[in-house]
Chain A
């Protein structure tokens, strides 16, 4: 194909139009992303759960302290968290003592903990130093400076029960 033919043929013009259109779509998409438009598929959470939360589950057997560090949607326990009083589970009844498999009234420290914060959905797992793993699934609600996690808490021998964790001062 001669150069003249290339610039005048119908096929070439269509090809160039497609190329221009593709560039236009790409530029528009880039602009939208740059402006925080609809291409933001995985926004950062608007709520923060990076603090110390405490609460007693509804059966009154277990009291939970967790102190989270948040990286966007991921939460992990503050490290080091011991010997502070913000990462542990305490038995509040004889049944709680059994569920924690302990014989003293002292809190059992958390060895690990992690979870996902979907804002407002939240799920996390914590494991005590004596190997008991508990899970929490719920929602986060913020009202002014008050932040609550409201959901279901369960463990190896602890039946699922409602647990409200309040953002709490040290």
Chain B
């Protein structure tokens, strides 16, 4: 081999390497099927925010043209048409993203499917459809309102009655602006015994109830925590679990109230 021949061969080899590196031809010998390494939200996740985007990460670079709305679909678990959304693929992170055109429905379950139409840059399809399910966060804090009284075993224990309504924006809870005073009293706290009255302090509404003037909290389905403030400035916090869309169970406490166990239930109709 002459020096010129050797140089030409080296240049040709370098060209092949460069071309392969830029076009993926190096995967021509790849026969291994790609796989899905992570899905977000994870399979069987609950409490998924309704405006979530879904992501799927693959084990190797994928052919962007095969990762699309045909190979990545989301359907209601209860059946029905596929959820409309856009699918994009980010090559550096090997991640596909599904962005729904409309928010998911509160409390609804969905199935995410990555089909075998998705293939890597060498043309190897994933071995089998990958399926994951998730459930969107519940919409529980709606009208009419929740109410409850803590149980006591003797009259020395504070007993109070709480009527409370919320606004819900994803995980964030607040106080509706249209809360009503007595007799409906759907943002109110009422004493049930002397110890409860001492814990509450002065009553502003008809001398019978304290108006809840502020509410803020977080719902991370099923865990809920919120703080409310009475018109007299006293503040109480509730931490608990939403056991179903009509009941929350937890502990209510404040500077003047030792922790009490209370169940707040959605009333069936405007103020009983």
Residues on A lying within 8 angstroms of B by beta carbon are: 53-56, 60, 63, 83-85, 90-94, 96-97, 104-107, 145-146, 148, 165-170
Q: How far is the CA of A162 from the CA of B100 in the complex (A)?
A: 50
A-chain residues with CB within 8 Å of residue B269 when the two chains form the complex: 146, 148, 166
Known: A94-B207, A168-B267. A85 touches B182 (CB 8 A): no
Q: Which of A91, A94, A97, A169 is within 8 Å of B247, CB to CB?
A: A169
On whether the beta carbons of B183 and A60 are closer than 8 Å, the reply is yes
A-chain residues with CB within 8 Å of residue B206 when the two chains form the complex: 92-94
Residues on B lying within 8 angstroms of A by beta carbon are: 148-149, 151-155, 159, 161, 182-185, 190-194, 197, 203, 206-209, 246-247, 263, 265-269, 271-272
Q: How far is the CA of A88 from the CA of B149 in the complex (A)?
A: 13
Known: A63-B183, A93-B208, A146-B269. A83 touches B190 (CB 8 A): no
B-chain residues with CB within 8 Å of residue A165 when the two chains form the complex: 272
A-chain residues with CB within 8 Å of residue B149 when the two chains form the complex: 84-85, 170
On whether the beta carbons of A93 and B182 are closer than 8 Å, the reply is yes
B-chain residues with CB within 8 Å of residue A94 when the two chains form the complex: 206-207
Q: How far is the CA of A55 from the CA of B155 in the complex (A)?
A: 24
> Which residue of the partner chain B has the closest CB to A169?
B265
A-chain residues with CB within 8 Å of residue B266 when the two chains form the complex: 169
30 contacting pairs across A/B (C-beta < 8 A):
A53-B272, A56-B272, A83-B159, A85-B149, A85-B192, A91-B208, A92-B182, A92-B183, A92-B185, A92-B206, A92-B208, A93-B182, A104-B194, A105-B197, A105-B207, A105-B209, A106-B191, A106-B194, A146-B268, A146-B269, A166-B268, A166-B272, A167-B268, A168-B265, A168-B268, A168-B272, A169-B246, A169-B266, A169-B267, A170-B263
On whether the beta carbons of A170 and B148 are closer than 8 Å, the reply is yes
> Which residue of the partner chain B has the closest CB to A61?
B183
B-chain residues with CB within 8 Å of residue A107 when the two chains form the complex: 192
B-chain residues with CB within 8 Å of residue A93 when the two chains form the complex: 182-183, 206, 208
Q: How far is the CA of A63 from the CA of B190 in the complex (A)?
A: 12
Q: How far is the CA of A93 from the CA of B152 in the complex (A)?
A: 26
A-chain residues with CB within 8 Å of residue B183 when the two chains form the complex: 56, 60, 63, 92-93
> Which residue of the partner chain B has the closest CB to A97?
B207
The 9 A-B residue pairs whose C-beta atoms are closest, nearest first, are: A60-B183, A169-B265, A85-B149, A54-B272, A166-B272, A56-B183, A105-B208, A168-B272, A92-B182
Q: Which of B182, B190, B268 is within 8 Å of A60, CB to CB?
A: B182
> Which residue of the partner chain B has the closest CB to A56?
B183
B-chain residues with CB within 8 Å of residue A166 when the two chains form the complex: 267-269, 272
B-chain residues with CB within 8 Å of residue A105 when the two chains form the complex: 190-191, 197, 203, 207-209
> Which residue of the partner chain B has the closest CB to A57?
B183
